[in-house]
């Protein structure tokens, strides 16, 4: 399992922290490396334009530093592409949210792009974002809070959700939010890009 630590708020919830602990390979996005190293972490790779990582860490971790100055992509995208190029396509992103809202929205929406090249999810302090582009069944439990965000202007249907969708075109992100699972699984049917959020038990 490959984990990318993005430069949002470092996770505190047990779920994303457990992914870091069990990871076979950890990639830090540039500035995220500072905090991870400070708490004793040892990244296998640090990827980005190197505008946020400390000078000390640039020297200490020069052997795992992979600078990328492409200004057309952010450090998260650079890190995902780095993993894919290395043959690592089962990826969990942590630390992708929790600071600036524009970065948070950008990182979440990018999951739809990454779904074409990797099996990828984003684990936050509140739940899991999963991008899909075809009919998908999700493991769940009765009462699980679920939100559906459609990126493309295509119809979405659902099974086993409290508020069912039937060939619904979700023209704004709020329209598929705040739903609820009715059983141990639910299904989302779509031919477009959709991002599904499943909240942890509070």
Residue 127, pLDDT above cutoff 80: yes
pLDDT of residue 28: 96
**155 has a pLDDT exceeding 90:** yes
Q: List, in order, residues 6 or more apart from 172 with CB less than 8 Å away.
A: none
Structure tokens at 24: 């076979």
Domain-ending residue, one of 108, 125, 142: 125
Whether 98 and 109 have beta carbons less than 8 Å apart is answered as: no
Residue 35, pLDDT above cutoff 90: yes
Q: Any idea which of 63-77, 128-142, 161-175 has the lowest mean pLDDT?
A: 63-77
Domain harbouring 108, CATH code: 3.40.50.10240
Across the chain, mean pLDDT equals: 94
Question: Is 93 found in the same domain as 20?
Answer: yes
Query: What pLDDT, on the 0 to 100 scale, is given for residue 40?
Result: 93
Instruction: Supply the CATH number for residue 140's domain.
Output: 2.60.120.320
Is the predicted pLDDT of residue 70 greater than 80, yes or no?
no
Same domain, residue pair 99 and 117: yes
User: Quick one: pLDDT at residue 49?
Assistant: 85
Task: Find the domain containing 170 and state its range.
Answer: 131-199
Cβ neighbours of residue 31 closer than 8 Å, sequence gap 6 or more: 7, 48, 51, 52, 53, 75
Same domain, 121 and 157: no
Residues 156 and 91 in one domain: no
Q: Do 75 and 116 lie in a common domain?
A: yes
Q: Do 74 and 88 have their domain in common?
A: yes
- Residue 44: pLDDT band (50, 70, 90) is very high
191/135 Cα distance (integer angstroms): 7
pLDDT recorded at residue 52:
83
Whether the per-residue pLDDT at 71 is higher than 80: the answer is no
- How many domains are contained in the chain? 2
- Looking at the structure, do residues 43 and 119 belong to the same domain, yes or no? yes
Among left, alpha and beta (phi > 0; psi -120 to 50; other), residue 43 is beta
Q: Are residues 115 and 24 in the same domain?
A: yes
End of a domain among 84, 101, 125? Answer: 125
Residues 138 and 104 in one domain: no
**Which letter does DSSP use for residue 62 in this model?**
G
Do 79 and 103 belong together in one domain? yes
Q: Which of 125, 153, 178 is the last residue of a domain?
A: 125
Please determine, for residue 31, whether its predicted confidence score (pLDDT) is greater than 90. no
């Amino acid at each position: 399992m490959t984990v990318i630590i993005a430069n949002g708020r470092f996770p505190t919830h047990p779920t994303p922290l457990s992914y870091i602990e069990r990871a076979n390979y950890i990639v830090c996005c540039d500035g995220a490396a500072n905090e991870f190293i400070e708490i004793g972490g040892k990244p296998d790779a640090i990827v980005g334009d190197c505008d946020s990582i400390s000078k000390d860490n640039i020297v200490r971790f020069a052997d795992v530093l992979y600078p990328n100055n492409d200004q057309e992509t952010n450090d998260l995208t650079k890190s995902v592409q780095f993993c894919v190029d290395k043959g690592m396509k089962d990826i969990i992103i942590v630390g992708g949210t929790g600071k600036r809202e524009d970065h948070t929205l950008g990182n979440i929406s990018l999951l739809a792009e990454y779904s074409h090249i990797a099996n990828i999810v984003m684990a936050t302090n509140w739940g899991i974002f999963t991008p899909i582009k075809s009919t998908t069944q999700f493991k769940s439990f009765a009462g699980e809070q679920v939100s559906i965000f459609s990126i493309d202007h295509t119809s979405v249907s659902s099974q086993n959700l409290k508020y069912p969708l039937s060939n619904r075109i979700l023209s704004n992100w709020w329209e598929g939010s705040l739903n609820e699972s009715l059983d141990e699984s639910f299904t989302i049917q779509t031919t477009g890009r959709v991002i599904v959020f499943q909240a942890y038990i509070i």
